[in-house]
Amino acid sequence: MKRAMIGIIAAIAYGILALVGGIIGYAQAKSKMSLISGVISGVLLILCGVAQFRGVVWAGTLAAVITAVLIVVFVMRLTKTRKFMPAGLMAIAGGVALAALVADAFV
């Protein structure tokens, strides 16, 4: 697999995870904020991944910014709740996705 594809895959995978997580958060806790933020961030990340694949230069930067913001949100939530799920998982997954996105910027 080409190294440059890793960032695209990471953006799309983290977008799907955010989207599904938002839907699950709404289904379990009736959290409209989880649904709204999960759908918006998830769809944006998926669109950024597709745009990266099509050669749009700024899409990787936007995906990295969205991912970084989500990491901050989930670390704050983890610090507040002290519950690993879902905040810890999303923070770790976000860190991996961000590392892949940043690595692609230097390819």
pTM of this prediction? 0.93
Whether pLDDT at 94 is above 70: yes
Whether pLDDT at 17 is above 50: yes
Residues with Cβ < 8 Å from 23, sequence gap 6 or more? 35, 38, 39
Look at residue 1 in the predicted model and tell me its pLDDT: 46
| Burial class of 2 by CB neighbour count within 10 A (0 to 12, 13 to 18, 19+) | exposed
Whether pLDDT at 14 is above 90: yes
pLDDT, tens digit, 9 for 90 and up, residues 74-92: 999 999 999 999 999 999 9
Whether pLDDT at 4 is above 90: no
